[in-house]
Amino acid sequence: MILLGPGPVYVPEEIRKEQTKEMITHRSPEFSELYRNIVERLKTYLNSKESYILTGSGTMGLETLILNIAKPEEKMICLTNGVFGDKLSKTAKIYTNAEVHSLDAGKGWNLERAKKIIDESNAQVLGMVYNETGYGVRNHAKEIIKYAKEKGMFTILDCISAWPGTPLDMKEFGLDGFVTGSQKGPSCPPGLALLGLSDEAVQRINSRDRIPSFYCDLREHKKRYEKDGQTPFTPAISLMWALKKSFDLIDSEGMENVRKRHKELSEYVRKRVVGAGFELIAEPEFESYTVTAFKSNGNAKELRKRLKEEFGIVIVGCKGAYAENGLRISNMGHVTKEMLDNCLDALEKIKE
Ligand SMILES: Cc1ncc(COP(=O)(O)O)c(C=O)c1O
């Protein structure tokens, strides 16, 4: 079976195998070595002040950022253009006062569209999704985050389906809170949330009297990490072995090459999808580097079924406004051109 959904993504065998290592206790020097290894490497990739790897899905990671960074009495601008931005907004509403601004399906956020909102708001925090997975839209996050940061806001970016295939440097962006999930770009099985924090975010979190969570209180994670390189609660150790291997693969390829490969493969998929007569959902200039979303000819479910049954290829539908009619092909992680060609060749054959 060829898995081309936008997460969980295809997991290469060398990453999968790491999970079968003999179990160790998380209160051991071996675990400290493993956890320190992946945390310190993540910090370097992100250019963050601190990083943590929590056991739980990406949503938990995003919730962790929001509840640690945004205070209940504050206001948070939430820029949404799809289901994942909506989920970010819903989460923000639980922990702070969310001011939600939406764009239609397929449209992307850039500074031109966000500037007035930022200028006119007295919010302390801004949150948005880098890559709106549901519609394959890459928001121009850098210019928005940078601007909001210059205006004195704390900034949170859901990079769950963006990283590492889309450029990101926390310092350059002015980003205070980063999150991705192990089952996306890192190409591991689901179950880990990878977090990055800026210096300002760390200071704010440390100075808070009360953080409304026990498991997700990053002060607990910091305390334990600084004590002995461990986690306050029992982590998914097997997944951490897998993540270490995933980082080895990133290092051997080089981050710049990882990004170049994603950009080029996404361009290739779009070219072939359009060549086959389909219409892209993302507006021009906002196309995702990791997932291509397009409109079917009213036969999305049938195409997915036939791809799976006749060709052994799994792709997924879209979300929200295109839940019925949209299709998505992901090139996230270690998906190869050959896998994509198999899918695109098959799609051309059965598209009517
Ligand atoms: C942009 C984005 N945010 C959040 C999520 C939710 O992540 P998880 O399912 O790991 O909780 C996803 C998953 O597809 C996503 O693509």
User: Model confidence over 56-77: pLDDT tens digits?
Assistant: 999 999 999 999 999 999 999 9
Mean pLDDT value across residues 305-314: 97
pLDDT of residue 199: 98
Q: For residues 102-126, give the mean pLDDT.
A: 98
Whether the pLDDT of residue 285 is over 90: the answer is yes
Instruction: Identify the pLDDT of residue 174.
Output: 98
* Mean pLDDT score, 28-45: 98
Please compute Rg for the chain using Cα positions: 20
Handedness of CA 42, 63, 137, 312 (dihedral sign): positive
pLDDT in tens, 112-123: 999 999 999 999
The residue whose CA is least distant from atom 8 of ligand 1 is 58
What is the 227 CA–ligand 1 centroid distance (Å)? Answer: 31
Mean pLDDT across the stretch 327-343? 98
Q: Which domain holds residue 313?
A: 254-350
Statement to judge: residues 316 and 232 lie in one domain: no
Residues 213, 82 share a domain: yes
User: What is the count of structural domains for the chain?
Assistant: 2
Is any ligand 1 atom within 6 A of the Cβ of residue 97? no
pLDDT the model gives residue 156: 99
What is the spatial distance between Cα 289 and Cα 179, in angstroms, rounded to a whole number? 17
Note whether residue 242 is domain-resident.
yes
321 or 231: which leads in pLDDT? 231
Please tell me whether residues 282 and 158 are part of one structural domain: no
Residue 339 lies in a domain: yes
**One domain for residues 240 and 333:** no
Q: Do residues 127 and 273 share a domain?
A: no
Question: pLDDT tens digit string along 127-156?
Answer: 999 999 999 999 999 999 999 999 999 999
CA-nearest of 60, 96, 52 to 78 is: 96
The predicted pLDDT at position 269 comes to 98
Mutate to test the pocket of ligand 1, among 66, 91, 133, 318 (most ligand atoms within 8 A of CB): 133
Ligand 1 pocket test, pick from 53, 59, 128 with the greatest ligand atom count within 8 Å of Cβ, gives 59
Whether residues 155 and 261 share a domain: the answer is no
pLDDT band at 297 (very low <50, low <70, confident <90, very high): confident
Is the pTM higher than 0.95? The answer reads yes
Going from the Cα of 33 to the center of ligand 1, the distance in angstroms, rounded, reads: 29
- Give the span between the Cα atoms of 166 and 58, in whole angstroms: 17
* Last residue in a domain, options 225, 251, 277: 251
User: Which residue among 251, 274, 298 closes a domain?
Assistant: 251
Residue having the nearest C-alpha atom to atom 7 of ligand 1: 58
Q: Report the alpha-carbon distance of residue 330 to residue 290 in Å, rounded.
A: 6
Q: What is the CATH number of the domain that holds 136?
A: 3.40.640.10
282 and 260, same structural domain?
Answer: yes
Q: Which of 180, 130, 138 is nearest to 267 (CA)?
A: 138
258 and 246: one domain?
no
Structure tokens at 201: 């975010």
Q: What is the DSSP letter of 287?
A: B
User: Mean pLDDT across the stretch 281-294?
Assistant: 98
Cα separation of 265 and 292, whole Å?
Answer: 10
Residue-level pLDDT at 320:
87
Does 170 share its domain with 62?
Answer: yes
Ligand 1 geometric centre to CA of 194 (Å): 12
Chain segment 217-275, per-residue pLDDT in tens: 999 999 999 999 999 999 999 999 999 999 999 999 999 999 999 999 999 999 999 99
- Pair 288, 229 in one domain: no
Q: Of the residues 204, 232, 251, which one is the last residue of a structural domain?
A: 251
Distance CA 181, CA 29 (A): 26
Residue 114 has φ and ψ, to the nearest 5°, of -100, -15
Specify the pLDDT at position 300: 95
Residue 96: band (very low, low, confident or very high) from pLDDT cuts 50, 70, 90: very high
CATH of the domain at 323: 3.90.1150.10
Q: Indicate whether 226 and 262 sit together in one domain.
A: no
Q: What is the mean pLDDT of the chain?
A: 97
Tokens 């951490």 — which residue?
240
Same-domain pairing of 139 and 233: yes
Indicate if the pLDDT at residue 319 is higher than 90.
no
Any domain includes 284:
yes
Q: Is the pLDDT of residue 283 over 80?
A: yes
